[in-house]
Amino acid sequence: MKESWSSVDTLETNFRPLVVIELAKGTKEETIEWFTKRIVDKKANGGAQLLIKPLVTENGNENIYLVGASHLRLLLGAENVGLVKECNDNSMRAFTYSSRKTFKDFADDNQNFLTMSECQYIIKHELENLRAKDEKMIPGYPQAKLYPGKSIVRRLLTNGILVQIFPLHDREELKKLRHTWYGQVKIGYQPLDEIRCYFGETIALYFGFLEYFTFALIPMAVIGIPYYVFAWEDYDKYVMFATFNLLWSTVILEVWKRICAVMTYRWGTLLMKRQFEEPRPGFHGVLGINPVTGREEPVYSSIKRQLRIYFVSVPFVCLCLYFSLYVMMIYFDLEQWALDYHEENKSHFSSLMLYVPSIIYAVVIEIMNRIYRYAAEFLTSWENHRLESSYQNHLILKVLVFNFLNCFASLFYIAFVLFDMKLLRQSLATLLITSQILNQFAESLLPYWLQKRHMKKMKERMHSLKMDTDLSLVEQVNSEKEMGTYLGTFDDYLELFLQFGYVSLFSCVYPLAAVFAVLNNITEIYSDALKMCRVYKRPFAEPTANIGVWQLAFETMSVISVVTNCILIGMSPQVNALFPDSKMDLILTVALVEHLLLAIKFVMAFVIPDKPRDIQIKLAKLEFESLEALKQQQMKLAAESLKE
């Protein structure tokens, strides 16, 4: 018998709080009543059909509510969002409630069949899809206009009525994860399956890529050390190092695709079918009919969006790029001043001053990157993209273009305009090390110190001191709601992307770049794990099958590295000695070698399959079974129609 949404019970005695909703203090009662009614109302009436309870404190209700769902509601929600689970025959299939008995570890009384992160993802999906029906405004707030299809949660957030929504931590599971993840210093792999179960696939894939990239850097670091020791001023010898660099940057990205496919198949997200992507909560427009789905939803002119992009966003980005180049020229003026000062004084202090311009420039680069990031987010949101994927792609493109120019323009200028390899080595080392120190401080150490300070103050206000595992629900919610919000893996991937650029573009000039990158990433694994578990609120899980547009970004960087390294090889005295009479022959030879290496790179990318053979067979088998099942269903319908 197929369960319908109308049969889901919204009253459950064993209430399990999963998600916290905090409304602004002083929110009007009619607003609270309307919003909570929409949360518990049946799906047929436009509700989310979830459970909600107020968090009652000693001071009374502080407009904090706990959201949960019945076991049946979560199972139907898992089918609705397309979760993929393992079957008894060890295959991976999309979960359906009607075939629930065929799935591994399923039992009607097994509340742990769905992980806590999956349950929280289902609730988030339902809350985000709460949309206005006939309401013209939010009750109690006439200025907060609504129209059919508008996201209710988004409107409440933009009007300051809804402060935040976040998933609760599971104290016991978090304690176990912390112990196996970063609680002890050991040489070994991260518990990626446990991270995935607790934080979701997006977070687990980031840590998997961070771990893989760190291991992939080790050969570059091992080769780079003797190059640093024995060929410090001998640039003839970096030809072989640059050649190895070219092959390395291609192979590691192709191998990662295979590793990623194996992991995401095991987690089920490689098979997860994305339904028609719904409008992102921030999308707005006049009410219209979607021609594909026939649903009522906001509609916004693509011409208006293109006008905003090409006449506002693009000029703004170009202006920022010009400003970045202007700052770079100021840096070179400072560099020349430091060099002149050293030539005049020839002291220990003056030799130290040679590094000051690079350090100042590295700090300025980090500040400019962060300021530009906020501007890029505002612009991309203002462009009003309908889909979350489109929003992310435009945001990443804006940020990558600026960060690439801001971080690497000075290095290209030094290498290919000034032809100063000594200054290039010094600038690369300073930029790399300074940016790593600043990122570690800004992303982990500072937030951790602030969080420790806040927790200390909060515990001083408690009537009795208790251990973390003994905190009551009220104390847990109050402590977690004050934590910082994790903004996603964007900044983490961006840091790795820039690091990959430093290593692949110019490490033949400064072979220790890979060594510092390995050391940084080892500490990054522990510091990022610490901030996920102790500093930030628990993020909502997000199913994903790969690292998305970042794979393309890394591959693009590897193509640029081929060109850069070929030019560096062509500039070396060793290669120049082969063409003593004609520089044109040298340029043509370098261009020919560069095209040949690019061809080899693309052939390697084509020859190395993105998915291992066994994964390909499993996917093909599932597709065949789906076609057979559809054929059988059509034959059954045809037979029934003939009988009639």
Measured from the Cβ of residue 140, the count of other Cβ atoms closer than 10 Å reads 15
Contact 169, 477 (CB under 8 A): no
Structure tokens at 579: 């063409």
For the ranges 90-94, 147-151, 493-497, the maximum mean pLDDT occurs at 493-497
Q: Which residue has the tokens 């560096």?
A: 568
Count CA atoms within 13 Å of residue 427 on its CB side: 24
Residue 362 — φ and ψ, nearest 5°?
-65, -40
Contact 148, 46 (CB under 8 A): no
Q: What is the pLDDT of residues 525-535, one digit of tens each?
A: 888 888 888 88
Q: Name the H helices within 414-489.
A: 421-440, 446-461, 473-480
Single out the residue of 494, 525, 195, 185 nearest to residue 370, CA to CA. 494
CA–CA separation, 246 vs 453, rounded Å? Answer: 47
3 state SS for 322-339 = HHHHHHHHHHHHHHHHHH
Question: What is the average pLDDT value for the chain, to the nearest integer?
Answer: 82
Contact 427, 407 (CB under 8 A): no
Structure tokens at 367: 């500040």
Q: How many residues does the chain have?
A: 644
80-97: average pLDDT: 86
CA–CA separation, 392 vs 494, rounded Å? Answer: 13
Q: What pLDDT sits at residue 463?
A: 45
pLDDT at 199 over 90: yes
Q: Name the H helices within 545-582.
A: 549-571, 573-576
Q: Name the H helices within 182-283.
A: 192-199, 201-230, 238-267
Q: What pLDDT sits at residue 202?
A: 92
Contact 165, 21 (CB under 8 A): yes
Q: What is the pLDDT of residues 247-288, one digit of tens each?
A: 888 889 989 999 999 999 999 888 876 554 567 767 777 766
Longest dimension (CA), the chain: 103
Contact 216, 244 (CB under 8 A): no
Q: What is the pLDDT of residues 377-404, one digit of tens each?
A: 899 988 988 877 788 888 888 988 898 8
Contact 362, 435 (CB under 8 A): yes
Q: What pLDDT sits at residue 474?
A: 84
550-574: average pLDDT: 85
Domain spans of the chain, in order of start: 19-168, 192-300+384-481+493-611, 612-643
Coil vs helix vs strand at 604 = helix
**pLDDT: which is higher, 185 or 330:** 330
CA–CA separation, 486 vs 508, rounded Å? Answer: 36
Measured from the Cβ of residue 197, the count of other Cβ atoms closer than 10 Å reads 19
Please state, in angstroms and as integers, the Cα–Cα distance from residue 576 to each residue in 451, 492, 580, 582, following that order.
57, 40, 7, 10
pLDDT bin (cut points 50, 70, 90) of residue 203 is very high
For a pLDDT cut of 90, what percent of the chain falls above it? 21
* Helix or strand holding residue 77 (H, E): helix 71-81
Measured at the CA of 156, the angle between CA 155 and CA 159, to 5 degrees, comes to: 85
Q: What is the pTM of this model?
A: 0.85
Q: What pLDDT sits at residue 210?
A: 95
109-120: average pLDDT: 88
Q: What pLDDT sits at residue 263?
A: 93
pLDDT at 68 over 80: yes
Q: What pLDDT sits at residue 392?
A: 82
Considering only CA atoms, give the Rg of the chain.
28
Q: What pLDDT sits at residue 568?
A: 80
Q: What pLDDT sits at residue 581?
A: 77
Q: What is the pLDDT of residues 435-461, one digit of tens each?
A: 888 777 776 666 666 666 655 655 555
Q: Name the H helices within 467-548.
A: 473-480, 490-506, 513-530
Helix axes 388-413, 421-440, angle to 10 degrees: 140
Contact 513, 503 (CB under 8 A): yes
Contacts 24+ apart (CB under 8 A), 264-268: 264/201, 264/205, 264/544, 264/545, 264/546, 265/92, 265/615, 265/618, 265/619, 266/92, 266/193, 267/193, 267/196, 267/201, 267/204, 268/83, 268/84, 268/85, 268/86, 268/92, 268/543
**Beta strand 141-145 with 162-167: parallel, antiparallel or unpaired?**
unpaired
pLDDT bin (cut points 50, 70, 90) of residue 518 is very high
Contacts of 300 (CB under 8 A, 6+ apart): 283, 284, 285, 286, 384, 386
The least confident of 38-42, 276-280, 472-476 is 276-280
* Helix or strand holding residue 403 (H, E): helix 388-413
Contact 245, 565 (CB under 8 A): yes
For the ranges 142-156, 220-234, 283-297, 359-373, the maximum mean pLDDT occurs at 359-373
Q: What residues are paired with 25 via a beta bridge?
A: none
Q: What pLDDT sits at residue 610?
A: 85
CA–CA separation, 575 vs 593, rounded Å? Answer: 12
pLDDT bin (cut points 50, 70, 90) of residue 467 is very low
Single out the residue of 43, 52, 46 nearest to residue 21, CA to CA. 52
Q: Which residue has the tokens 């992991």?
A: 263
